[in-house]
Homo-oligomer: A and B are copies of this chain.
Amino acid sequence: MIVPGFRAAAASAGIKKGQQPDLALITAIRPAAAAGVFTTNRVKAAPVVISRERLRSGRAQALLVNSGNANACTGAQGLEAAWEASHWIARYLNIPDRLVLPASTGVIGQKLPTGKILAALPDLVTRLDPEGLSEVAQAIMTTDTFAKTAQIDGHIGDHPLTVAGIAKGAGMIHPRMATLLAFIFTDAAISPSLLKTYLKAGLAQSFNRISVDGDTSTNDTVIVMASGQARNQLLDRPDSAAGQDFATLLHQVMADLAVQIVRDGEGAQRCYRVIVDGAVNAVEARKAAATVATSPLVKTAVTGADANWGRIMAALGRSGARFDPEQVDIFFGPHQVVRNGQAIGPAAELDFGDLPELKDPLLKDSPLEDLCALYIARLQNLLDEARLYFIGEKV
């Protein structure tokens, strides 16, 4: 996993118990275009406060990430700790403090062990390596059971181009900029403002459509950095063909990471996708899809491999979306179980276990298509432009 212009390394600083890696550094060879989106939670961890402020410049050169401690609810002391760690990294790298972005994940409310972090920094800098990103994906794990990485090699016109990302999830996963940590790197040459535009558009299609437990974290952070090493003509207009090509790659990487986060949700046994068709508008489609995807009773039915469509109807009914209950169709994958709001024969009694395409448990090496029990709620007689999906997950 190599993105031209970036180097990375991970180390075990002793923040977590045992010898697991828990500290990571990613650097760009020169200040990179950078954009970030952060938690909407009113309680924001210290590194979120700092990185959000520093990203106003649109430039960053280093990411310093620790796991094992969220540095959240730690007050002024927490801010000092994050400032101090990023200050020392800036000194080692000989760059301004403001180009260092701190990020943390782990337990809320404990003081960041600054001493341990500072002690580990010199070694981390020495070991920076173009192939270090995979190690970083390991180091940022908390309750994750596998490291989350995604990479696409594509082109902008004739220029080869790479977009690669790493993420950590597991708990506190819900749309509203909640995804814990995701860092995406590319060698594209792109303006910071356009990078932010594409990041936000991608979020709406990826991290903002997944849910595991319905909670959001104090530390949620998605940062994208672009080194410019691909030496393509600078992307700075959203509608250009080259810009669109780049956006497609970026969004594919984000969607890949988002689905991996769902698949590895804490306690998750099954992964499913809800598609709502024919809603009055996109807002109502989203309400309907989100309510079905996150309904605890729908989740337990899915986990029990029980095609309990009555729970889907009940969830749609409380979603706030406008529809006529007597014009709803419901499908499990290719199997229709409800027509015009009523069960259709024995199909409505099906067991997930009878459906090879739906019965697979959540295995991380299965193809994604096999993992997603597809729910379709077709709200008939309404406009059908609005088609939204939502990925939910058994807690």
Task: Give residues in A with beta carbon < 8 Å to B.
Answer: 40-44, 70, 72-75, 107-110, 171-172, 176, 178, 213-218, 295-297, 300, 309-311, 313-319, 321-323, 325-326, 338, 340-343, 348, 395
Other CB < 8 Å A-B pairs besides A215-B311, A216-B314, 10 of them?
A44-B317, A75-B341, A108-B310, A108-B314, A109-B309, A171-B297, A178-B318, A214-B296, A216-B317, A296-B395
The answer to whether B73 and A42 touch across the interface, beta carbons within 8 angstroms, is no
The answer to whether B323 and A42 touch across the interface, beta carbons within 8 angstroms, is yes
Residues of B with C-beta under 8 A to A215: 295-297, 311, 314-315, 318
Query: What CA separation (Å) do A323 and B41 show in the bound complex?
Result: 12
Interface of A is mostly: loop
Most buried by B among A107, A172, A310: A310
The answer to whether A318 and B109 touch across the interface, beta carbons within 8 angstroms, is no
Query: What CA separation (Å) do A374 and B26 show in the bound complex?
Result: 44
Query: What CA separation (Å) do A318 and B219 show in the bound complex?
Result: 12
Residues of B with C-beta under 8 A to A171: 297
Q: A214-B296, A296-B214, A342-B73 are in contact. Are A314 and B109 (CB under 8 A)?
A: no
Q: A42-B325, A213-B297, A296-B395 are in contact. Are A74 and B342 (CB under 8 A)?
A: yes
Query: What CA separation (Å) do A73 and B217 show in the bound complex?
Result: 38
Query: What CA separation (Å) do A341 and B72 show in the bound complex?
Result: 10
The answer to whether B107 and A317 touch across the interface, beta carbons within 8 angstroms, is no
Task: Name A70's closest neighbour in chain B (CB-CB).
Answer: B310
Q: A109-B309, A297-B215 are in contact. Are A318 and B75 (CB under 8 A)?
A: no
Residues of B with C-beta under 8 A to A41: 314, 317-318
